[in-house]
A and B are shown apart, each in its own frame.
Chain A
Amino acid sequence: MIRRVRLMLLVAVAVLLQTAVFPHLRIGGAVPDVGLVLVVAVATRNGVEAGAAMGFVTGLLVDLFLQTPLGLSALAFALTGAAVGVVQAGLLRPGRWVAPLLGALGGLFANLLFVGVGILAGQDQLRSVHVLRVLGFAVFYDALIAAFVFPLAVWAARPGATSRAATAGAGWGA
């Protein structure tokens, strides 16, 4: 319960940062996707279900402030969370490079999904080669902020006192 409250607080802060602070730090048309990196971090720590659910909620909140259809970021973030959850379960070992690497890969995967599904949903403005340039900057930004977001997500996603015994030792950063 406490873990959920911590995570929801973190999501709210991430959405506020995304809508109020990061638009001031635009480079090459891209802004840091703090909500997305948070989803990647939680999926890395807690697996597929938590990653997908967290991705859906965070994406939906971010969607409220975008011009693209509501649900597009929710879909991209949820699938990214699920994919990262699958990867962490089978492939990754803890290490310093994991956060920026997963931040970059998550950013690339989510943005490609966002653009691909957006085009299918009739968002013709995404059908441009210039989108790739923005995507490059976005991936770089996501890798950069992952180093700061991952420790916060690990703190928020750690089990509460009652469930600690059951989940001790599981996942990245445990």
Chain B
Amino acid sequence: MAVYRRSARRRSIVILLVITSVTLITLDQRGSGSGVIGSIRSGAHDVVSPVQRGVHDMVQPVSDWFDGVTSRGTLSSDNRKLRQQVQALRNRVGQTKTLEDEVKRLRDVLGLSSVGNLKTVPAQVITGAPGNFDNTLEIDRGTSNGLARGMPVVSNLGLIGRVIDVSKHSATVLLITDSASNVAVRLPASNATGVASGHAGLNTLSVSFVNPDAQLARDENVVTAGQKDGLYPPDIPVGTVVSAAKTPGANQYDVTVRPYVNLARVEFVQVVRWTGPGGAG
């Protein structure tokens, strides 16, 4: 009898916990991360962010060493490629300066915006995602610094992601490599457009909906499309094409893009104070 009672009690505890969890999941899904649950999350981030900052300062040297060990195989080839790129980029700086002036003049004439003339807030990365299936970064700036949900986050090399959660003193950035991220992109050289999305555990992006008639090339630049109601301003560099294949019979390209920014090692970012038509939320 006692054994039966104990077993019934266990069952009811487990059932109660399951019902509570499912209720919370439903409430959070319906509230889309806002309301009471959003406030609790924001409060939790504010409580933990000073610890995260302290730990970040302490473990950064260890983390750098760890990165070095785990990516040792690619470091020398990365180094060689980067040296070649530096040489090529030096040659292009002069040409780019002229083009930049011309683009700025034309944008002024047409009344268009670009990241170049939008205000940015510098921020430091304090930690990454605590879970296995999120690709996010935690930065040390929040609403007290003028940050809001939806703001794009860039580095001097290109697009990183956008702010998806913000508390008073910290914010969470959804990286472009997260599987929940979709970026409308443009390939200026081939005049093609598509949507770049990430995959859990991968550092590359897949671009879908690319017209199969487009003439894509390896190493072609990919930039944000800046469509109407889009999440990002136009022409932020995203990455380069590493492969583009057309499956026989398919009505679109299978394009893989490597982001310009090494998202696993990013330390400092710029939050663009832009919440365009589709930016907020």
Contact = CB atoms under 8 A, between A and B. Distances in A.
Q: Does A pair with B? A: yes
Contacts of A125: 133, 178-180, 200
A110 B12 CA distance: 20
Interface in A55-96: 55-56, 59-62, 64-75, 78-79, 82
Nearest to A70: B28
Nearest to A121: B25
A62 to B, nearest CB: 7
Contacts of A111: 132
A22 B59 CA distance: 10
Interface string B193-210: 000000111100000000
A14 to B, nearest CB: 11
Interface in B192-233: 199-202
Contacts of A65: 41, 44-45, 48, 130-131
Interface string A1-34: 0000000000000001011111111111111010
A61 B129 CA distance: 14
Interface string B107-122: 0000000000000000
Interface bin, chain A: 35 or more
B132 to A, nearest CB: 5
Contacts of B21: 56, 59, 71-72, 74-75, 78
Contacts of A23: 127-130, 138
Q: Is the interface of A mostly helix, strand, loop or mixed?
A: helix
Contacts of A131: 133, 200-201
A62 B17 CA distance: 16
Nearest to B70: A27
Nearest to B135: A29
Given A24-B66, A30-B201, A122-B29, A19 B22 contact: no
B174 interface: yes
Given A19-B127, A67-B172, A69-B24, A49 B200 contact: no
B144 interface: no
Contacts of B66: 24-25
B75 interface: no
B88 interface: no
Contacts of B28: 69-71
B143 interface: no
A125 B174 CA distance: 13
A138 interface: yes
Contacts of A68: 131, 133-134
Contact of A133 (B54, B136, B201): B201
Interface string B136-151: 1010000000000000
A49 B180 contact: no
A49 B135 CA distance: 33
A20 B45 CA distance: 11
A75 B26 CA distance: 12
A16 B29 CA distance: 25
B52 interface: yes
A52 B131 CA distance: 20
Contacts of B250: none
B164 interface: yes
A157 to B, nearest CB: 17
Given A28-B201, A31-B132, A122-B29, A64 B40 contact: yes
A156 to B, nearest CB: 20
B51 A69 contact: no
Given A24-B59, A70-B37, A125-B180, A19 B133 contact: no
A66 B130 contact: yes
Contacts of B190: none
Interface string A27-55: 11111010000000000000011001101
Interface of A: 16, 18-31, 33, 48-49, 52-53, 55-56, 59-62, 64-75, 78-79, 82, 111, 114-115, 117-118, 121-122, 125-126, 128, 130-131, 133-135, 137-138
16 contacts: A19-B51, A20-B127, A23-B128, A24-B59, A25-B63, A26-B264, A52-B13, A55-B17, A56-B21, A65-B45, A65-B131, A67-B129, A67-B174, A78-B14, A125-B180, A126-B179
